[in-house]
C-alpha cells in the first residue's frame, strides 16, 4: 500500500472546512486592509532562495527541495514566498505603481524539515507583504492586520513578541558586542553555535540546544544597541501598536531564521506555547531587493502557517462553518422511474439547488437509509406509482411524514423553503 510521503498530509473532506475558513477569512482581511492578491510560481530558480533567503540559513543549508529539471535548470520548490514576491516586484517594474505596494498570497511551501506536530514538509502559508516604504506605520499596519485576522478567526489569548535587529549602520557594532559576550563561553556551545559565531553570529540567539540557553539568555539585546535612526523607527512602531491596543513583549532573542531581516522582527503566538507554536512571523527586509540585484526597496511582511492556525482553532474548540451539504436526495426505485428522477434532479440543479442523485438499483429501504446518512434536508423518491401519476414522494427530513405531490409543487416547496437560494 502506498502512503502519503513523510511530512505530507491528506486533508480529508471533514477537515477541509477548517482550511477553507482560514483561507476565506485571510482573503477577506487582506482585502479589508487593501492588500491585493498575487500568485507566483510553485518553483523558482534555486539561486533566488540561496541569494534571497540566505546561504547560511537552515532553509537553504538543509531544507530545500531542489532538483535539476530535464532542461538542466536548477530549480527549487518554494520554501517560502517572500523572495518570489520580491522577484516579481523587480521583474515587472512594480515600483512604477503607487507605493507601498500591498500584496498577499496563499501558497503551499516545501521544506525538508523533521516532521512533528505542526511541522510538515508541505504546508500552507498566508503571505502578506508591503513593498516600497520604510515608515514604521506600515510595520504597525501589518502586525495589526495579522493580529486582527487571528482574533477574527476566533483565536484567544494571542501574544506578540517583538524585536529590532537594526540595519547595516548599527549591526556591526551589535555583532561585536554579541561576539564579545559569547567568546568566553565558546567551549560550552554546540557545534552549530561555534560555527555561527564565525559565519552568522545573530543566529546564535536562535539556538534551541539546552546547553546554549544560559549564554543566549544573558546576551545583550539588540534593542539596547540600535543606532538613532533604528531606535526612532522601533519607538514609532511600538507607539503605533500601543495606539491599536496591541500588547507587544520585547524579546531580544527573537532574530528569525532568515537572513534578510532588518529592524523590525516579530512573531505571534497562540495561548498554548510550545517550541513549534508560532502562528507566524515576519519583519522588515529593506535589504532583500538589493541582495537580489535590484534597487534599494524597503519592505515589510509576514507569513502565517495555515496548519498552525487550524491546529489552534481545533485546540480552542472554535466552530467553523461546515462544508456545503446537498439539499435534496433524489432516488428512484426500479429502472422505469430512473429518467423521471433524473429529470427532477436536473430541474433542481438548474435552479441552483444542490442534489445528491442516487445511482444503481436499490430497494426503497436502502434508498431511505442512504438518504438519512447523506444529511440532505429533503428526500425525493420516484417509484412505479409516482411514474404513473406524475408525482414524487417528498419527505422533509425535519418533519415526519412523507407526502406525495405533483412534481411542480414539490419543486416549489423545496425552493420556497430554501428562500430560493443555493444554500
Of residues 102, 122, 156, 18, the one with CA closest to residue 302: 102
For ligand AMP, the binding residue among 57, 105, 125, 379 (CB under 6 A) is 125
Q: CB 220 → ligand AMP: shortest distance, Å?
A: 24
Report the alpha-carbon distance of residue 355 to residue 346 in Å, rounded: 9
Which three-class secondary structure state does DSSP give residue 87?
helix
CA-based angle 123:39:129, to the nearest 5?
80
Binding region for ligand AMP (CB under 6 A) out of 27-35, 145-153, 175-183, 272-280: 272-280
The grid cell for 117 is 506536530
Binding region for ligand AMP (CB under 6 A) out of 117-125, 224-232, 316-324, 333-341: 117-125
Whether 26 and 126 have beta carbons less than 8 Å apart is answered as yes
| Number of residue whose CB is nearest ligand AMP | 305
Element at 23 (helix H, strand E): helix 16-32
Q: CB 225 → ligand AMP: shortest distance, Å?
A: 24
Tell whether residue 307 is a contact of ligand AMP (CB under 6 A): yes
Tell whether residue 261 is a contact of ligand AMP (CB under 6 A): no
Report the alpha-carbon distance of residue 374 to residue 362 in Å, rounded: 15
Of residues 220, 254, 193, 179, the one with CA closest to residue 56: 193
> Of 131 and 376, which CB lies nearer to ligand AMP in the complex structure?
131
Residue listed under C-alpha cell 481545533: 314
> Of 113 and 244, which CB lies nearer to ligand AMP in the complex structure?
113
SS percent in the chain: helix, strand, coil, step 5 = 45, 20, 35
Q: CB 275 → ligand AMP: shortest distance, Å?
A: 12
**Radius of gyration for the chain, computed over Cα atoms and rounded to the nearest angstrom:** 28
> Of 61 and 343, which CB lies nearer to ligand AMP in the complex structure?
61
Tell whether residue 54 is a contact of ligand AMP (CB under 6 A): no
Tell whether residue 22 is a contact of ligand AMP (CB under 6 A): no
> Of 280 and 287, which CB lies nearer to ligand AMP in the complex structure?
280
Residues 72-111 binding ligand AMP (CB under 6 A) are 80, 111
Tell whether residue 203 is a contact of ligand AMP (CB under 6 A): no
Binding region for ligand AMP (CB under 6 A) out of 167-175, 226-234, 279-287, 327-335: 279-287
Q: CB 280 → ligand AMP: shortest distance, Å?
A: 4
Of residues 190, 207, 197, the one with CA closest to residue 175: 197
Tell whether residue 266 is a contact of ligand AMP (CB under 6 A): no
Of residues 114, 56, 44, the one with CA closest to residue 80: 44
**Interaction site with ligand AMP (CB under 6 A):** 80, 111, 113, 118-120, 123, 125, 257, 278-281, 303, 305, 307-308
Amino acid at each position: 500500500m502506498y502512503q502519503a510521503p513523510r511530512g505530507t498530509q491528506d486533508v480529508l473532506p471533514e477537515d477541509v472546512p477548517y482550511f477553507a475558513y482560514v483561507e476565506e477569512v485571510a482573503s477577506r482581511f487582506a482585502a479589508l486592509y487593501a492588500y491585493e492578491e498575487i500568485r507566483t510560481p510553485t518553483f523558482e530558480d534555486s539561486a533566488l532562495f540561496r541569494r534571497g533567503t540566505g546561504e547560511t540559513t537552515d532553509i537553504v543549508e538543509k531544507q530545500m527541495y531542489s532538483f535539476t529539471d530535464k532542461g538542466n535548470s536548477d530549480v527549487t520548490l518554494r520554501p517560502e514566498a517572500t523572495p518570489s514576491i520580491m522577484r516579481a516586484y523587480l521583474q515587472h517594474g512594480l515600483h512604477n505603481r503607487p507605493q507601498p505596494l500591498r500584496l498577499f498570497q496563499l501558497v503551499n511551501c516545501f521544506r525538508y524539515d523533521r516532521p512533528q506536530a505542526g511541522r510538515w514538509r508541505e504546508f500552507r502559508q498566508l503571505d502578506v507583504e508591503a513593498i516600497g516604504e520604510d515608515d514604521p506605520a506600515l510595520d504597525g499596519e501589518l502586525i495589526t492586520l495579522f493580529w486582527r485576522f487571528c482574533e477574527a478567526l476566533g483565536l484567544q489569548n494571542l501574544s506578540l513578541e517583538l524585536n529590532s535587529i537594526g540595519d547595516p549602520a548599527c549591526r556591526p557594532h551589535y555583532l561585536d558586542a554579541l561576539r564579545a559576550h559569547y567568546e568566553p563561553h565558546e567551549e560550552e556551545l554546540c557545534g552549530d553555535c561555534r560555527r555561527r559565531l564565525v559565519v552568522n553570529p545573530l543566529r546564535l540567539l536562535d539556538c534551541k540546544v539546552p546547553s546554549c540557553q544560559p549564554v543566549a539568555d544573558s546576551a545583550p539585546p539588540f534593542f539596547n544597541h540600535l543606532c538613532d535612526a533604528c531606535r526612532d523607527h522601533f519607538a514609532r512602531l511600538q507607539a503605533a501598536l500601543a495606539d491599536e491596543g496591541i500588547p507587544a513583549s520585547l524579546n531580544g532573542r527573537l532574530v528569525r531564521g532568515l537572513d534578510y531581516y532588518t529592524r523590525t522582527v516579530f512573531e505571534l503566538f497562540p495561548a498554548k506555547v510550545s517550541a513549534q507554536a508560532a502562528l507566524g512571523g515576519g519583519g522588515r527586509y529593506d535589504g532583500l531587493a538589493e541582495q537580489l540585484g535590484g534597487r534599494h526597496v524597503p519592505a515589510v511582511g509576514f507569513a502565517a502557517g495555515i496548519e498552525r492556525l487550524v491546529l489552534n482553532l481545533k485546540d480552542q474548540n472554535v466552530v467553523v462553518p461546515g462544508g456545503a451539504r446537498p439539499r435534496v436526495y433524489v432516488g428512484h426505485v426500479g429502472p422505469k422511474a430512473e429518467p423521471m428522477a433524473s429529470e427532477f434532479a436536473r430541474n433542481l440543479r438548474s435552479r441552483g439547488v444542490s442534489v445528491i442523485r442516487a445511482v444503481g438499483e436499490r430497494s426503497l429501504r436502502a434508498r431511505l437509509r442512504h438518504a438519512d446518512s447523506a444529511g440532505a434536508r429533503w428526500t425525493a423518491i420516484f417509484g412505479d406509482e409516482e411514474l404513473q401519476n406524475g408525482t414524487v414522494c417528498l419527505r422533509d427530513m425535519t418533519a415526519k411524514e412523507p407526502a406525495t405531490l405533483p412534481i411542480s409543487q414539490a419543486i416549489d416547496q423545496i425552493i420556497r423553503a430554501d428562500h430560493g437560494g443555493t444554500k
